[in-house]
Structure 1
Amino acid sequence: MAMPKSPEAQASATQPGDALFAAHALLPGGWARDVLLQWNAAGAFTAVLPGNRPPPGVTQASGPVLPGLPNLHSHAFQRAMGGLTEYRGTAQDSFWSWRELMYRLAGAITPEQLEAVATGLYVEMLEAGYTQVCEFHYVHHDANGQAYADDATLSLCLLRAAQTAGIGLTLLPVLYQTSGFGGTPPSDGQRRFIRRTDDMLALLDRLRPLCAVQGARLGLAPHSLRAVPPDALRAALEGLRAQDPTAPIHIHIAEQTGEVDACLAWSGQRPVQWLLDHASVDAHWCLVHATHMDADEYRRAAATGAVAGLCPTTEANLGDGIFDLSRWLAAGGRWGVGSDSHATVNAAEELLMLEYSQRLATRQRNVLATTMQPHVATAMTLAAVSGGAQASGTLNAGAGAGLCVGQRADLVELDAAHPLLQGLNTPEDMLSAHVFASHRQSAVARVWAGGRLRVQHGQHAESASARAAFIHARRQLLENTRP
């Protein structure tokens, strides 16, 4: 369902700005002073010049400028579930009981509702400082489990949603075939997810030129080891690599202890151990969650160059457990963050939750600070931008991640007039206040994505219409999914 654009949104979508001057900007090597940022009509940085004076006529940022944060794991339709599972329905609630409502929602959502929910979500993401999203998309078919006349119908809804909002998109169609290890047949609740391997490769062929036109990245997501049998995983990876050797590959793995136990019973190996022994995992992979690994799995997985896709607020919401980030970093591992089920849509809050989970696990403070970056919010932002760009498949050859020449012009300006930022003298302290003292208030002032100004005064130009459409779609879904 295409939504009309306001005149302001049309202007920002068709007239990309070409420069911004920032007194403080967070570059890949750390904070820099008096930075001139320039980009071309395609929305890519052409110059990042510290130590400059503001040229006449160039817009000046009112506060510190950050690179936009990639959101490396999203199930857009699950935003419609927000707040609906926060009650005890069984003697011991867990991910597995939460999943029943998710299946009801997935079974009922229409293409029009999916597009409305995704558009509203992507607008929220931009307002919260995300500028790229990796959409882990597994609802493929109609409510009866049959293919639409156009097999790409629901993927196209997500492409349109991203285009309307103006967020960068990495589309990851999900391969899903079984309900458990050893080829257990899928359940009725999974009927809309199921695809043969050849069908998936055909879908990727169909989507590739459409993604290229929009500037979206296309990859593949084998859902999990329990949902993709070994032969299908091997064939899908071979087919993908024949189409695009650099395509990103994302997989849920070792999220739940129950999954680890089931994998051990099936194969005699833990999930990450099995994957590393049976697939050529490399820097194009994102291991989503990977919460429950042993010491050898941490070491071996980090050595592949794969990114750990951490979703702190969802993992906390579902009671998954705590990723041992200190051990991962000691092994040289890379990481990024995602909002997953969208219990929270706030880039700063994902970083806060990640640091706080490590503090609780280690009983220490400022765990994720580094020798080079002692301010933990600065260190985390740089790491999440770098790992997120790698997992998104958006790193250009020879370019770093974030605010550097050759990369997409994705940037976030903090509001220096925000009550918690006023009176602070350094950008490090301002970013720390944004991440750790926001009290759910956003200190984001403006956001550019692909060189186009999408958010001003903390609000997206399409905010009102996107949210109205989201509310309407959510009400319809709730009416159709009540038990």
Structure 2
Amino acid sequence: MALWFEQALLPEGWRPSVRMILKGRFIDRIVHGIPPEPGDERHGPAFAGLPNVHSHAFQRAMAGLTERAGEGGDSFWTWREAMYRFLDRLNPEGLRAIAALAYAEMLESGFTSVGEFHYLHHDPSGAPYANPAAMAEAIAQAADDTGIALTLLPVFYAHSNFGGVPPTEGQRRFLHTPDSYARLLEALKPLNATLGVAPHSLRAVTPQELAAITALTPDGPIHIHIAEQRAEVEACLAWSNQRPVEWLMNHAEVDQRWCLIHATHIADSERNAIAKSAATVGLCPITEANLGDGLFPARAFLAQGGRIGIGSDSHIRIDAAAELCLLEYGQRLTHQARNLLTAPGQSTGASLYHHARKGAQALGHPPATLTPGARADIVTLRPGQPTTAARSGDRLLDSWIFARAQIDSVWCAGVRRVTAGLHHARPAIEARYTQLLKALLD
């Protein structure tokens, strides 16, 4: 297959008139500065797809359902109780339908891979399904339905708070012992996915369980929620006399395989420790704003060489560009200045894009790139749209992130999955999803 782009972001920078030959899942050859040949598919500006480092696919069905004020004030914790209640009717078939819509929307927004932080394991009573891997297999099937590259992160969850406090009734569908979790991991190995592990949070595991779980994947990714809420920090201090990231750094070998999700409320010493560890911080600006979490100190962290990835988390809105825009805008509001997450004279949009692209480290694979031999994960912007008129190079990324330039096409592993901004399977996916939601919310 031969594709021709008006311009494309190659490893050496933007180049005009780029002709690319795909062979199976991969890019075979690239030349630039030449006109298209007869039979070439012609497209607008192109760049490599982004990784979504943090997803709870089932929460896509909750979008818009928790935006009514409660009597006693609302927070992450009241939202969590609403989420627990939502789970009561969800089965593997329903999870597949919801995840397929979420993954189609990710591809439409420029994400070509996803880390699924999957903790909905058991049936509504809390008992394992006859096939204990049924829910995780539904996630993998949804990824196959849509074509997105999947890193599956089954979650270990055993306790409701620090110090091994027993779980609550609302957490019954999440729970595992170290032995049952090891069996789950073994059952998931045949799936078409990169496999990692995910201790849910320090409050959901004991130190002994954390050590046992992380030892199960000597090479794969390790993801954990940490320091998302001030109440979590205070509870960790009461339990251990240490802050969450401080405790983790003192008790685990945190390295480049780790992804610390949110890490919102950290001290300077914790920020320095994360940067030195080469771990990725998984930031989800839209969800963090929706839940009232707070703002990660991204300006200081990136200035010292820290690594970040972005995720859509609760999927209140699935939009890669909007996540990056809000990441920058949060820093602008905090510091009352502009263009903060870049170097002097450099494009903010390009800097945000490149930081997010490198978040692929957290998913256990190299960043997508437009170069021979790389997997063909390609995003194009709609040619001729007013938002990109008379723009070239990094200004295209600025226009995509800050001015909502529209995506046209997306290829994942050499297969075109999105055309004219819509996933090819969207009609069927929408129909299944709509039917499911009518049953769930009736």
Common topology (TM > 0.5):
yes
Amino acid at match of 2:255: D
Distance across 1 between alignment mates of 2:28 and 2:257: 26
Distance across 2 between alignment mates of 1:390 and 1:266: 32
Distance across 2 between alignment mates of 1:411 and 1:282: 29
Amino acid at match of 1:47: R
**Counterpart residue number, 2:51:** 70
Residue 178 of structure 1 pairs with residue 159 of structure 2: yes
1:240 to 187, 212, 217: 217
Residues matched between the structures, number: 442
Pair 50,279 (structure 1): closer, same or farther in 2 beyond 3 Å: farther
Amino acid at match of 1:394: H
SS at 1:60 equivalent: strand
Query: Contact (CA 8 Å) 1:310, 1:338: kept in 2 or not?
Result: yes
Q: Which moved more, 1:468-477 or 1:455-464?
A: 468-477
Query: Contact (CA 8 Å) 1:176, 1:227: kept in 2 or not?
Result: yes
Residue 424 of structure 1 pairs with residue 390 of structure 2: yes
Kindly report which structure 2 residues correspond to 1:363-382, keeping only aligned pairs within 5 A, or say none. Answer: 363-371=336-344, 374-382=346-354
Deviation readout 1:10-49 (Å, 9 max, x if unpaired): xxxxxxxx332223212344323333333321x1233344
Distance across 1 between alignment mates of 2:185 and 2:127: 18
Residue 471 of structure 1 pairs with residue 442 of structure 2: no
Deviation readout 1:292-339 (Å, 9 max, x if unpaired): 110010001111111110000000000000011111112210111100
Shift of 1:53: 4.8
TM-score (norm 1): 0.88
Unaligned runs of 5+ in 2: none
Kindly report which structure 2 residues correspond to 1:143-158, keeping only aligned pairs within 5 A, or say none. Answer: 143-158=124-139
1:452 to 397, 415, 422: 415
Query: Contact (CA 8 Å) 1:455, 1:461: kept in 2 or not?
Result: yes
Residue 35 of structure 1 pairs with residue 18 of structure 2: yes
1:342 to 315, 319, 324: 315
Deviation readout 1:202-244 (Å, 9 max, x if unpaired): 2111111223xxxx21111110000011101101111222xxx
1:404 to 357, 360, 371: 371
Residue 84 of structure 1 pairs with residue 56 of structure 2: no
Residue 461 of structure 1 pairs with residue 399 of structure 2: no
**Counterpart residue number, 2:41:** 59
Query: Contact (CA 8 Å) 1:39, 1:47: kept in 2 or not?
Result: yes
**Counterpart residue number, 2:86:** 105
**Counterpart residue number, 1:221:** 198
1:306 to 260, 279, 284: 279
SS at 2:131 equivalent: coil
Amino acid at match of 2:21: Q
Pair 450,81 (structure 1): closer, same or farther in 2 beyond 3 Å: same
**Counterpart residue number, 2:28:** 46
**Counterpart residue number, 1:3:** none
1:328 to 270, 290, 301: 301
SS at 2:202 equivalent: coil
**Counterpart residue number, 2:363:** 392
Distance across 2 between alignment mates of 1:294 and 1:368: 20
Query: Contact (CA 8 Å) 2:308, 2:355: kept in 1 or not?
Result: yes
**Counterpart residue number, 2:107:** 126
Pair 19,379 (structure 1): closer, same or farther in 2 beyond 3 Å: farther
Deviation readout 1:390-421 (Å, 9 max, x if unpaired): 111122xxxx6422344321111001222322
Amino acid at match of 1:316: A
Distance across 2 between alignment mates of 1:145 and 1:393: 31
SS at 2:21 equivalent: strand
Superposition CA RMSD, Å = 1.6
Shift of 1:140: 0.3
Unaligned runs of 5+ in 1: 1-17
Amino acid at match of 2:27: F
TM-score (norm 2): 0.96
Distance across 1 between alignment mates of 2:55 and 2:385: 29
Deviation readout 1:264-302 (Å, 9 max, x if unpaired): 000010000111111111111111100111001000111
SS at 2:410 equivalent: strand
Shift of 1:142: 0.5
**Counterpart residue number, 1:96:** 77
Query: Contact (CA 8 Å) 2:110, 2:407: kept in 1 or not?
Result: yes
Distance across 1 between alignment mates of 2:225 and 2:373: 31
Shift of 1:198: 1.6
Shift of 1:131: 0.9
Query: Contact (CA 8 Å) 2:353, 2:397: kept in 1 or not?
Result: no
Distance across 1 between alignment mates of 2:337 and 2:150: 36
Shift of 1:51: 4.3
Distance across 1 between alignment mates of 2:155 and 2:140: 15
SS at 2:103 equivalent: helix
Distance across 2 between alignment mates of 1:262 and 1:224: 12
Query: Contact (CA 8 Å) 1:28, 1:401: kept in 2 or not?
Result: no
**Counterpart residue number, 2:253:** 280
Query: Contact (CA 8 Å) 2:368, 2:375: kept in 1 or not?
Result: no
Query: Contact (CA 8 Å) 1:107, 1:189: kept in 2 or not?
Result: no
Deviation readout 1:71-101 (Å, 9 max, x if unpaired): 1100000011111111211432100000011
